[in-house]
Structure 1
Amino acid sequence: MDMLFFENEIKKVSKKVGPSGWSTMRLQDPRINGQLRKEQVARETEARDVENRRNSLLNGDD
């Protein structure tokens, strides 16, 4: 991921708002939102593939 601007300022803000506030602020970053969505889609796809594989083994389609 690209570095955000003013790294020192970001560190100061993260200390002031605390972990939960920092997490909320980061979730508003569209780059992070896009990454979270991409990871979610990958997990859903993997779960679907595992389920399909399990079903094919149970049905003897292999």
Structure 2
Amino acid sequence: IYSYAAASKESCRIRAVYSSQLLKMRNVKLVVQCGEYLLGLRVMEGLFLLLLLFQPSYQPF
């Protein structure tokens, strides 16, 4: 179960980071979707992910 959650979180993070380089409105929509999903699994990890998404200097790769 944990590995499934980790894989889903990683996929969500990649899509979220990718969308952050596109339109802001689409990014907000994806952040909300991923945020709700992650908060359902782990509150702190979900909040940390959202925090990273709003840092323009964050480089995932």
Q: Which TM-score band applies after superposition, normalised by the shorter structure?
A: 0.3 to 0.5
State the TM-score, normalized to the length of structure 1. 0.35
State the TM-score, normalized to the length of structure 2. 0.36
Q: Which one has more relative contact order, counting CA pairs under 8 Å at least 6 apart?
A: 2
Q: Which has the larger radius of gyration?
A: 1
